[in-house]
Structure 1
Amino acid sequence: MKQRLTNLALIFFGLTVLNPSVCRAGKPNADRPNIIVILTDDQGWGDLSINGNTAIQTPNIDAMAQSGAQLDRFYVSPVCSPTRAEFLTGRHHVRCGVYDTSEGGERVNPDETMIGEVFQRAGYQTAAFGKWHSGMQYPYHPNARGFSEFYGFCSGHWGNYFSPMLEHNGQLVKGKGFLVDDLTNRAMEYIEQHQKDPFFIYLPYNTPHSPMQVPDRWWNRFKDLELTQDHSKKGSEKVGHTRAALAMCENIDWNVGRLLSTLDELSLANNTIVLYFCDNGPNGSRWNGSMRGRKGSTDEGGVRSPLLIRWPAKIKAGTMIPQICSAMDLLPTLTEMAGVEVTGTKPLDGISFAPLLSGSSDGRQDRTLVHHWNGKVSVRTQQHRLDHQGQLYDIPSDPGQREAINEQQPGVVAKLKQVADKFRAEMLVDFGKQFDERPFVIGHADAKRTQIPARDGIGHGNIERSNRWPNDSFFRNWLSVEDSITWDCKVGKTGIYQVELFYTCPKADVGSTVELSFRESVLTGQITEPHDPPLTGMEHDRYERMESYVKDFKRMTLGNIRLTKGQGTLKLRAVEIPGSQVMDFRLMLLTRIDQ
């Protein structure tokens, strides 16, 4: 990404920018609150009973609002990785180099300072459990971004939610049970282990993102449930998908309840900030208030998220915040609440709403937020939204964006159109995949292991992906010595690396000789053991998926290769194929062995 994205003016298109040189007074560690941030994946504003959904019961999440604060108009981005970037950095996702949800476009530029780093420097124990989706290899990996403990997966979605392959601080491991339950268990264990120290836990759940998988305990209540609540998209609703999504949300609520109970049992609840929000609008046409838009849309329903925040020691029960706020506000808000210094960050686009939580006015003027995705730009003020087609709506009276008021409010239209035009001119120039000059990093100096998945590679010749959505896909149809897989990459440190492959191959096709090369280095090895498991995942799906099915890939050592620091192309090809194919390829794991 060109450097100009990080050198824009400090105040632009109506967003107020904080001065990073302003430090907040520190507090002794004993006085600092613990912090838990829960982020769900593809859950809409309307997928909570507290917001009026009559088909679902979310008593534990609802109780967070009743015993703490609820932000009535809180906004995120239309899709997942941009929202994560904005929460983690306090800055607009376009500034951070995020332009896609896979193949490298989800990575947050390494020169951005993340919220984990800020709290880590302040003496907090920091951990992330779940879907990272902000980069896999160092320096984008969560362990490189301020989180000492990481358990989960780094891709945009995962293909199996029952005991899948996961990662624990760089090591590939097998999960235990249903993934959301497993992640919550890890968080609870971490709280118990670090109860005497201030901790910052980021808990990005992977549901209700597809594949639509949930244990019987929650599915059984919904599998035959009649959905009677009316909404504008009722005619196009996929009822089975909605039932699965709501069942997954009730499972999330149960896990939130377990987490809160752990805090109570350890007498930590009073001084622990627990925050709950979603990454975008709902991943289906289902009830979402009367708002227009869903996931992927810059309309109200695509970017409005619940935000519930509980801190019994400081936040009055039942607090309601009507001012519009953003995911970008969370870094400055949480650091102010915790008395943590903000140093080393670039100028923040977020504004702390901590004063609003204490009943004070923060003195802000009419706020302007710009929402962007896939070239579409929408502008939101406290009263109005200008959609990507230039139509103006009065949101409090018309949340469904049904009646444009351009003729009645030409001055507002002109003002917000100017904001949108300035955003396009200053932020979207040199933005996108065609301008991404960031290679994938192998063997970063601070990382012993590097995952190199099919997701980040390019298949040549006959080779094809198992699915159009790359995140949890594998390469198949490897038929010829002319076929290859390549990665444009950069070796961060010269050294000897052990190469492991994750593959499948039927018995009749065993024996292919494959070659891995990078610049002048070459490693040759052979597929000697058959491993031909079936595709799986469909047995757990409650609704037909769009994403790839998965396999139980076999792990084998190909050998050792010496890689020299520098940029180049990593290439995997076959030099001999005795059968009809080489293998199905999921990933490589490179481990530096000459420490």
Structure 2
Amino acid sequence: MKVIDKGAADDAPFFLYLAHHYPHEPLTTSEDNLGRSDAGLYGDVVEGLDDGIGRLVETLQETGELDNTLLIVTSDNGPWYQGSAGDHRGRKGSVYEGGFLVPFLAHWPAGLDGGRTIDAMTMGTDVFPTVLEWLGIAAPTDRKLDGSSMAGLIDGTSDAASEFYYFYSGLDLLAVSDGRFKYHAVTDYVDAPSGNADGLSVTAQGPWLFDLDADPGENYDVSARYPDVAAALKAEFERRTAEMDVNPRGWN
């Protein structure tokens, strides 16, 4: 907590980026924490993470900095071998919602109205431009930022942070969404029977269009029902892919 203590003592801004390894494999926790959760070792680890966030909040309270500190808690991907993606398809490593849909909590009493849940699509790449706008810092002009500011969405002056969101595997674009609908291009689908690595088979599947409002589990292709939406998202998919092929690093 030295970063917080020093910032408070010097009356200076401070920044703390705390990237936990857990609950990534291999899972370990302190002996005192074992058996604490009904969710087994995985749950014990998550309880420990929660404790760590609690200690940060306590330190901010003790230094009088809690109300004027932007505290963001989120994750980089959905669950891997353990944990739950709820009713959503996929896990870590996939571009289905189970691999991408994660908690995002923002606490900043001096700058944000609390007690609200906003049901709109955003991505981790939106955090950087959002914080720049909140702090009144000009965004760099020598490159294109991957994200869009969420400031308008959070303060209620906008219904969305961005027109489109892009789902990548490495440098390969696999899906694009407008917030409600999500278009998956033709991709290789790996069939891996449990306990039989020799039985792996790969088949090309798609394109698919999912209505995330009606079908958040991405179970049913509705491209025949919404052909115009499918065509529009396919066009955006192709535009973005061509843009990346020409300028993958996004320099202006």
TM-score normalized by the length of structure 1: 0.36
The match for 2:177 among 367, 377, 380 is: 380
Aligned match of 2:199: none
**Displacement after TM superposition at 1:321 (Å):** 1.9
Residues of 2 paired with 1:352 and 1:310: CA distance? Answer: 17
Q: Which has the higher contact order (CA 8 A, sep 6+)?
A: 1
SS at 1:399's partner residue? coil
Please show how residues 243-258 of structure 1 align to structure 2 within 5 Å: 243-258=40-55
Residues of 1 paired with 2:68 and 2:119: CA distance? Answer: 25
Give yes or no for contact 1:299–1:387 (8 Å, CA) kept in 2: no
Residues of 2 paired with 1:354 and 1:419: CA distance? Answer: 24
Q: Deviations over 1:90-109 (max 9, x none)?
A: xxxxxxxxxxxxxxxxxxxx
Aligned match of 1:194: 7
The match for 2:229 among 386, 395, 412 is: 412
Give yes or no for contact 1:392–1:406 (8 Å, CA) kept in 2: yes
1:308 aligned to 2:105? Answer: yes
SS at 1:203's partner residue? coil
Give yes or no for contact 2:164–2:179 (8 Å, CA) kept in 1: yes
Which AA in structure 1 matches 2:217? G
Identify if the C-alpha distance between structure 1 residues 365 and 355 changes in structure 2 by more than 3 Å, giving closer, same or farther: closer
Residues of 2 paired with 1:274 and 1:357: CA distance? Answer: 15
Which AA in structure 1 matches 2:174? V
Give yes or no for contact 1:285–1:294 (8 Å, CA) kept in 2: no
Please show how residues 565-580 of structure 1 align to structure 2 within 5 Å: none
**Displacement after TM superposition at 1:259 (Å):** 0.2
Aligned match of 1:271: 68
Residues of 2 paired with 1:379 and 1:343: CA distance? Answer: 25
> Which one has a larger percent helix, Structure 1 or Structure 2?
2
Query: What do you get for the CA RMSD once the two structures are aligned?
Result: 2.2
Which AA in structure 2 matches 1:405? V
Give yes or no for contact 1:270–1:312 (8 Å, CA) kept in 2: yes
Residues of 2 paired with 1:215 and 1:423: CA distance? Answer: 46
The percentage of counterpart residues that share the same residue type is: 32
Which AA in structure 2 matches 1:219? L
Residues of 2 paired with 1:358 and 1:366: CA distance? Answer: 15
> Which one has a larger percent strand, Structure 1 or Structure 2?
1
SS at 2:16's partner residue? strand
Identify if the C-alpha distance between structure 1 residues 368 and 316 changes in structure 2 by more than 3 Å, giving closer, same or farther: same
**Displacement after TM superposition at 1:426 (Å):** 3.3
The match for 1:207 among 5, 22, 27 is: 22
**Displacement after TM superposition at 1:194 (Å):** 1.9
1:391 aligned to 2:208? Answer: yes
The match for 1:400 among 197, 209, 217 is: 217
Which AA in structure 2 matches 1:323? A
Give yes or no for contact 1:330–1:352 (8 Å, CA) kept in 2: yes
Aligned match of 2:31: 216
Residues of 2 paired with 1:304 and 1:398: CA distance? Answer: 14
Identify if the C-alpha distance between structure 1 residues 277 and 316 changes in structure 2 by more than 3 Å, giving closer, same or farther: same
SS at 1:325's partner residue? coil
Please show how residues 512-527 of structure 1 align to structure 2 within 5 Å: none
Residues of 2 paired with 1:365 and 1:344: CA distance? Answer: 20
Aligned length: 225
Please show how residues 33-44 of structure 1 align to structure 2 within 5 Å: none
1:333 aligned to 2:130? Answer: yes
Residues of 2 paired with 1:284 and 1:310: CA distance? Answer: 30
Residues of 1 paired with 2:155 and 2:21: CA distance? Answer: 32
Gaps of 5+ in 1: 1-187, 228-242, 432-595
Residues of 2 paired with 1:217 and 1:356: CA distance? Answer: 42
Residues of 2 paired with 1:428 and 1:245: CA distance? Answer: 41
**Displacement after TM superposition at 1:264 (Å):** 0.2
**Displacement after TM superposition at 1:343 (Å):** 4.0
Which AA in structure 2 matches 1:256? I
Residues of 2 paired with 1:211 and 1:365: CA distance? Answer: 36
Which AA in structure 2 matches 1:393? F
Q: Deviations over 1:385-433 (max 9, x none)?
A: 11243111111221111111111011111111222233333325797xx
Identify if the C-alpha distance between structure 1 residues 408 and 345 changes in structure 2 by more than 3 Å, giving closer, same or farther: same
SS at 1:420's partner residue? helix
**Displacement after TM superposition at 1:355 (Å):** 2.5
Residues of 2 paired with 1:353 and 1:315: CA distance? Answer: 12
Which AA in structure 1 matches 2:30? P
Gaps of 5+ in 2: 186-205
Give yes or no for contact 2:166–2:173 (8 Å, CA) kept in 1: no
Aligned match of 1:347: 144
SS at 1:200's partner residue? coil
**Displacement after TM superposition at 1:342 (Å):** 2.9
Identify if the C-alpha distance between structure 1 residues 405 and 335 changes in structure 2 by more than 3 Å, giving closer, same or farther: same
TM-score normalized by the length of structure 2: 0.81
Identify if the C-alpha distance between structure 1 residues 315 and 428 changes in structure 2 by more than 3 Å, giving closer, same or farther: same
SS at 1:275's partner residue? strand
Give yes or no for contact 1:277–1:307 (8 Å, CA) kept in 2: yes
Q: Deviations over 1:21-70 (max 9, x none)?
A: xxxxxxxxxxxxxxxxxxxxxxxxxxxxxxxxxxxxxxxxxxxxxxxxxx
Which AA in structure 2 matches 1:194? G
Which AA in structure 1 matches 2:78? G
Aligned match of 1:282: 79
Give yes or no for contact 1:292–1:300 (8 Å, CA) kept in 2: yes
Give yes or no for contact 2:75–2:102 (8 Å, CA) kept in 1: yes
Give yes or no for contact 2:181–2:211 (8 Å, CA) kept in 1: yes
